[in-house]
Chains A and B, each alone.
Chain A
Amino acid sequence: MDQRLQNTHVKLLAFDLLSLTQTPSLSTYDPIIFTRKNTTISRIEILGIVTSRELKPNKFLKFTIDDGTGCVTCVLWLNQLTSPYFSRRNPANVKLIADMAAHFASEIKIGVVARVRGRIAGYRGAVQVTVFDVVLERDPNVEAFHWLDCIRLARNCYNVVAGGAV
């Protein structure tokens, strides 16, 4: 299995992301391994229009990104101040993370174009993204540039394996 993209935020179109191969693993952090053409992918960057938004206050914000090729479900966690996962970390840092997540959540509105980075996760067999950060895009041409970027990267980088392009 090719691990070169393991720590890279891979730019994928939604249809490509949603068709990744899922393999169960023994790791508790990554219970599912996602692969694309025998290359492991764990981090992702997507861009598209926010088409739904479901807020569970102090728990999470679930939203969907539609990039014209598919809809990707994203989950932005908002439970940093109450989750045991953060209990051993520096409270000041946790507060910063919580504030940043709350800020991202306030920016996610239906109709905006958002660039989302995060970790690929599986939920009930479907692919979803655990959000690290969000950037709102205001340039109306940015989606077309993102499509071209994804196409170029897929052809020249992600599809290229040791034996050449696949």
Chain B
Amino acid sequence: MEAMAIKHGELVTLEELNPSSPFFKEGASVRVTGRKWYLYLKEGFDFGLVQWGCVERGFGDEGLMVKSCTSKGVLCLLRRLQEYTVETAIAVVADGNATLKIDTQHLRDISFRIGSIYQLIGELLIQPDNEAILQARVGRIVDGIDLSLYHQSLQLLRQFQADHLNNSTS
């Protein structure tokens, strides 16, 4: 039997992945690029292994919390860690002010480092609270990528595709 065709990951920026975007659909295959921001950790994680520039811990009423300092110096507060198990291994990537949660459980042979830039292909899972999680099936580190060049080239690519489509239908 012929294997089911693999869908390509539509090239999108993190800023475009908001509920009003045409890309924001359950099961949509997308490719995103963003800087690894932080990783949700399971309770009991050995913080001695974390190589972050700045990590703080607390045990408040909401459970085990982690504060991390991003490369841009923005302090971020993670949610309750008990919501996540090690199997779900949720990472978060950021581009500008936009962020996206990434389910990394299907990724192999890739290490997640804070501050590195990642490109990920997978399918969007829209949660009941209208928040998206990318179930990544392919990932790679793209440290050194020129994000400005990437975004400008993406606009030119979309324009070329649109022109090509218009010419072939007219």
Q: Which residues of A contact B (CB under 8 A)?
A: 13-16, 19, 49-52, 54, 64, 66-71, 109-113, 124, 139-141, 144, 147-148, 151, 154, 166
Contact = CB atoms under 8 A, between A and B. Distances in A.
A71 B156 contact: no
A113 B140 contact: yes
A51 B140 contact: no
B74 interface: no
A110 B6 CA distance: 13
Nearest to B11: A68
Contacts of A166: 167
B156 to A, nearest CB: 6
10 contacts: A15-B164, A19-B168, A51-B121, A51-B138, A67-B8, A68-B31, A111-B110, A140-B142, A141-B145, A151-B157
- Interface of B, helix, strand, loop or mixed by DSSP: mixed
B149 interface: yes
Given A68-B11, A111-B138, A52 B6 contact: yes
B157 A110 contact: no
Contacts of B2: 124
Interface in B1-30: 2-3, 5-11
Contacts of A14: 8
B161 interface: yes
B144 interface: yes
Contacts of B121: 49, 51, 66
Nearest to A51: B138
Nearest to A62: B3
Nearest to A154: B160
A97 to B, nearest CB: 27
Nearest to B5: A71
Interface residues of B, number: 36
B8 A151 contact: no
A49 B10 contact: no
B85 interface: no
Contacts of B83: none
B153 interface: yes
Contacts of B150: 141, 144
B164 A16 contact: yes
A147 B109 contact: no
A68 B149 CA distance: 16
B79 interface: no
| Interface-central residue, B2, B6, B8, B10, by most chain A CB under 10 Å | B8
B156 A111 contact: no
Contacts of B161: 13, 15, 69
B131 interface: no
Contact of B140 (A15, A49, A52): A49
Contact of B143 (A49, A54, A140): A140
B34 interface: no
Contacts of A151: 156-157, 160
A70 B114 CA distance: 30
